[in-house]
Structure 1
Amino acid sequence: MAVAALTGTRVRERRLALGLRQAEVAQAAGLSAPYLNLIEHNRRRVTPEVLEALARVLNLPPEALREEAGGAVLEGLRAAAAAAGEGTGAELDRVEEFAGRFPGWAQALMALERRAVGLERAVEALNDRMTHDPHLSASLHEMLSAVSSVRTTAEILTEPGEIDPDWQARFLRNLFTDSERLAAVSEALVAYLDGSEQAGVQGIASPQEELEGWLAGRDWLLPELEAGGAGEAALLAETGMLASGAARAMAADWVTRAAREAAALPLAVLEEEVARAGAAGPDPLRIAAARGMPVLAVMRRLAMMPGAEAGLVICDASGTLTFRKPAEGFALPRFGAACPLWPVFAALGRPMSPLRVEMATAGRGARRFRALAWCELRHPEGMGGVELREAAMLFWPVPGSAAGAGEVVRVGSSCRVCAREDCPARREPSIMG
């Protein structure tokens, strides 16, 4: 295994930081001093056993000296510098030197960056929930109503002067009833926010979320459909266990359609197409033309195949997201409007025309994604009826690409939690400023 430039530098800087001579380290690791000297100057290939011995002597985890760890450290440090902004003056040309001399500080800085990214994602999710969650909104309204009733009754009972005994008894009954209602709403709200078993059904805000939760629980895979009719029947029986009737109906429709699409585009054929496409990624339009099936059907198959890193969002003509399968690093809003710069919305205005767009997420932990968008038309009522539009965006991370490289469209999750300050499509100020 080859030693990266960062490996030799790290060995030397760690030895110097510990105040050890080269000969001492070499002897403790069972090496010759000239051999260790060549390693420190990145001029020798070493075996994993030698790296294990050096890590033991230098009191470092073995992973810290491996070649693959070097690239991850450098990439993490560059990401942290990019997230902090150009004004910090981080010397990117000296990042290898920093990581080699101070591996502990490098790991600490990366850990802080990961934590910051995680906290921003949590803020996004909480803001999304607080702003648009219908169950939460209804619960808070009910709680405020109960509090107002309790306060009004208490004010009446504390006013000077005597109250007729019958009216006093009525007010006390109202006070007791409103207090019970307030306690019940509070308990239900706490259980809902905690995600406890008591709030398992309440935590699902819509049948769509219940369907997506069921699919997410299966890791977005329906392998039974690859086996034919028996698998479809088993899945239909499983959908009958969902909580709401609407969700059961939606899941049954999804399974039935997915079974048709699996029969039209078998998994073996799909995997062959993906392998043939290579790094450029599969072309749903070409696959759809070859198999004689809708482009959106191919996009669904690509997003739901085993091992797929792709995310998928589908919307109707109003721009409402009707399906959301996330991809790592690309946040999808649970409620409310999404980022208007997503290619899926541009596709709505260009039906039957393919869009291929490079996207970069805004804010910390920015990543680059390749997106394919397509809009299909339907006329279920014939020539004189309405026209229905359905658009989809298939997207997956571009490996090894910096978020700022090349021509990209910078997008977010939704305006409220987007860190991009210069966005021309912003609807409202962001809380992430």
Structure 2
Amino acid sequence: MTRARKLYAGAQLREARRDAGLTQAAFADAVGVSLSYLNQMENNHRPVSAAVLLALADRFGTSLTTLSLGETERLTADMREALADPVFSGAQPPPADLDLTASNAPGLARAFLALHRAYRQRGERLASLDDALGREDALAPQPWEEVRDFFHYCDNYIDAVDRAAESFAAAAGLGPGARDPMASAAAWLEARHGVAARTADIPELRRLDGEALTLSTRAAPATRLFQLCVQVALTAHADLIEATLDLAGFGSAESRAICKIGLANYFAGAAVMPYGRFLAAAQETRHDIELLAEQFGASLEQVAHRLSTLQRKGATGLPFFFVRVDQAGTITKRHSATRLQFARYGSACPLWNVHQAFETPGRLIRQLAETPDGVRYLCLARDVTKPGGGFRRPTRRYAIGWGCEVRHAGALVYADDLDLASPASYEPIGVSCRICERADCHQRSVPPLKAAIEVDPTRRDLLPYRLAAPGGGRAASDQTS
């Protein structure tokens, strides 16, 4: 059963008040609390009450999901994973201290994570004798990681870019019911910016030569439309993208360049699936990604990813998580608007159904899962194949996973006929072995944080060690999961 959890969200509460342009006194009156009580909540001396949450949603359109999750949950999860590093082998701060640090001193938490990331990179470079260690920029964040963290802490929703894409979709006639979205988007781009689009047999997905845009006939129609919209973003909304990059304040030109493509991709997804119409269609179809893909001319991966971005203030969708893994189990995309957070380093939990998707190509897999904190999820997964377009261009295979907390499962068609009430229906999963506290997992790769181990040469179970219970006793054997 999910454990009740008090919500400390002082930073988000202050932000909501400032967005409304109200003083503390006026805001306290609006949400029905005393000035002193509001002051205590904003300073995380008291949790945000249910009455205040409802008042915020009713009067200011503040998303309860955004307020209850936001940056604090992500920072806490990332700090727990960082502290699982063997370098922190001494006394560990309790979870409550991490929560307080993330909510009261987020700048300190981010600085700690940056320091740990630099430490890891230095160790990796030393191990591989990388001569880049001698450069001044050797300990700078890796560009891909810096960009991934940018989207991660923006809740994977970039409001200005999303709204610009929605406006473009309306002007170009994209979305459900469009007779020929490719022709409509191409006509808009040529009429407004003089860039003429055509298709041809080229190895790249997209190529711009001067004012001539070529899209590959080897790509699927959904991919061609997506790439056309990427070019619209780069051509028609260059100023908006550059302004967003300025605000992000990346530490290197490489990070900025990578994020520029990421923002253009974000625009393309939001153009193919305009926010308002996509949200309405998702609710109407009960989040059936195959029906949504057909309606919007998008791929299954694009739809699943788009579901995780529906975090617009005042018009939020269900809080979804989304992840993509390669055949080695490495996470290549990750985002979560839920309490489920993914490992920053290494692979996803092997007990999670996303790995099984490779074994059953073309089939959607459902899983009811429970994390060590007692939160239950409906997890969905399937494989995604991306043909290379030629004999010597290898096919790329991924698995995508998405889902939500079980309390929202009734809004998904995939929950039909599942026994959501039975505890036996839920499989235990974790985030990372080093921060997963389960003592009975047969797939564990390393012992959990703070757990002493016992090695007995006279016996052998599935794992070569047993976890020592607190106080010197023996924990359950690592046999089941």
Match in the other structure for 1:60: none
Report the alpha carbon displacement of residue 428 of structure 1 after superposing the two structures with TM.
2.1
Report the alpha carbon displacement of residue 318 of structure 1 after superposing the two structures with TM.
2.3
Match in the other structure for 1:247: 255
Report the alpha carbon displacement of residue 67 of structure 1 after superposing the two structures with TM.
9.6
Any residues of structure 2 matched to 1:139-158 within 5 Å, and which? 139=122
Task: State whether structure 2 residue 314 is matched by structure 1 residue 295.
Answer: no
1:69-100 CA-to-partner distances (Å, cap 9, x unmatched) read 9xxxxxxxxxxxxxxxxxxxxxxxxxxxxxxx
Report the alpha carbon displacement of residue 388 of structure 1 after superposing the two structures with TM.
0.6
Instruction: Give me the whole-angstrom Cα distance separating, in 2, the residues matched to 1:238 and 1:202.
Output: 27
Change (3 A) 1:141 1:419: closer
Match in the other structure for 2:183: none
Task: State whether structure 2 residue 377 is matched by structure 1 residue 369.
Answer: yes
Report the alpha carbon displacement of residue 347 of structure 1 after superposing the two structures with TM.
1.6
Instruction: Give me the whole-angstrom Cα distance separating, in 2, the residues matched to 1:391 and 1:325.
Output: 15
TM-score by length of structure 1 reads: 0.52
Task: State whether structure 2 residue 282 is matched by structure 1 residue 274.
Answer: yes
Any conservation in 1 of the 2:354–2:400 contact (CA below 8 Å)? yes
Report the alpha carbon displacement of residue 119 of structure 1 after superposing the two structures with TM.
8.3
Report the alpha carbon displacement of residue 331 of structure 1 after superposing the two structures with TM.
2.8
Task: State whether structure 2 residue 143 is matched by structure 1 residue 135.
Answer: no
Q: 1:358 aligns with which of 359, 368, 377?
A: 368
Match in the other structure for 2:151: 215
Report the alpha carbon displacement of residue 361 of structure 1 after superposing the two structures with TM.
0.3
Task: State whether structure 2 residue 436 is matched by structure 1 residue 418.
Answer: yes
Any residues of structure 2 matched to 1:26-425 within 5 Å, and which? 122-128=79-85, 135-137=118-120, 139=122, 202=139, 204=141, 206-222=142-158, 223=162, 224-228=164-168, 229=232, 232-238=237-243, 240-241=245-246, 242-277=250-285, 281-305=286-310, 306=312, 307-308=316-317, 309-362=319-372, 365-399=373-407, 405-425=423-443
**Aligned AA for 1:211?**
V
Change (3 A) 1:240 1:428: same
**Aligned AA for 2:165?**
L
User: Counterpart of 2:147 in 1: which secondary structure?
Assistant: helix
**Aligned AA for 1:418?**
C
Instruction: Give me the whole-angstrom Cα distance separating, in 2, the residues matched to 1:257 and 1:142.
Output: 31
1:183-226 CA-to-partner distances (Å, cap 9, x unmatched) read x99xx9xxxxxxxxxx9x9563x222211222244332132332
User: Counterpart of 1:212 in 2: which secondary structure?
Assistant: helix
Instruction: Give me the whole-angstrom Cα distance separating, in 2, the residues matched to 1:232 and 1:130.
Output: 45
Instruction: Give me the whole-angstrom Cα distance separating, in 1, the residues matched to 2:77 and 2:386.
Output: 40
Report the alpha carbon displacement of residue 349 of structure 1 after superposing the two structures with TM.
3.0
RMSD over equivalenced CA pairs, Å: 4.3
Any conservation in 2 of the 1:295–1:374 contact (CA below 8 Å)? no
Change (3 A) 1:266 1:244: same
**Aligned AA for 1:297?**
Q
Match in the other structure for 1:35: none
Any conservation in 2 of the 1:367–1:403 contact (CA below 8 Å)? no
Report the alpha carbon displacement of residue 304 of structure 1 after superposing the two structures with TM.
1.0
Any conservation in 2 of the 1:358–1:369 contact (CA below 8 Å)? yes
Instruction: Give me the whole-angstrom Cα distance separating, in 2, the residues matched to 1:404 and 1:317.
Output: 32
Larger Rg: 1
Of residues 297-306 and 255-264 in structure 1, the stretch that sits farther from structure 2 once superposed is: 255-264
Instruction: Give me the whole-angstrom Cα distance separating, in 2, the residues matched to 1:215 and 1:407.
Output: 33
TM-score by length of structure 2 reads: 0.47
> Higher helix proportion, which one?
1
Any conservation in 1 of the 2:77–2:341 contact (CA below 8 Å)? no
Match in the other structure for 1:172: none
Any conservation in 1 of the 2:308–2:336 contact (CA below 8 Å)? no
Report the alpha carbon displacement of residue 260 of structure 1 after superposing the two structures with TM.
2.6
Change (3 A) 1:269 1:360: same
Report the alpha carbon displacement of residue 299 of structure 1 after superposing the two structures with TM.
0.9
Any conservation in 1 of the 2:289–2:303 contact (CA below 8 Å)? yes
Q: 2:448 aligns with which of 426, 430, 433?
A: 430
Report the alpha carbon displacement of residue 285 of structure 1 after superposing the two structures with TM.
2.0
Report the alpha carbon displacement of residue 344 of structure 1 after superposing the two structures with TM.
1.9
Any conservation in 2 of the 1:296–1:374 contact (CA below 8 Å)? no
User: Counterpart of 1:370 in 2: which secondary structure?
Assistant: strand
Any conservation in 2 of the 1:316–1:391 contact (CA below 8 Å)? yes
Instruction: Give me the whole-angstrom Cα distance separating, in 1, the residues matched to 2:408 and 2:306.
Output: 25
User: Counterpart of 1:211 in 2: which secondary structure?
Assistant: helix
Matched-pair identity in %: 23
The number of equivalent residue pairs is 270
User: Counterpart of 1:299 in 2: which secondary structure?
Assistant: helix
User: Counterpart of 2:84 in 1: which secondary structure?
Assistant: helix
Change (3 A) 1:234 1:310: farther
Any conservation in 2 of the 1:225–1:232 contact (CA below 8 Å)? no
User: Counterpart of 1:415 in 2: which secondary structure?
Assistant: coil
Instruction: Give me the whole-angstrom Cα distance separating, in 1, the residues matched to 2:357 and 2:124.
Output: 38
Instruction: Give me the whole-angstrom Cα distance separating, in 1, the residues matched to 2:254 and 2:379.
Output: 31
**Aligned AA for 2:444?**
R
Instruction: Give me the whole-angstrom Cα distance separating, in 2, the residues matched to 1:254 and 1:424.
Output: 38
Instruction: Give me the whole-angstrom Cα distance separating, in 1, the residues matched to 2:380 and 2:435.
Output: 24
Any conservation in 1 of the 2:322–2:401 contact (CA below 8 Å)? yes
Any conservation in 2 of the 1:232–1:259 contact (CA below 8 Å)? no
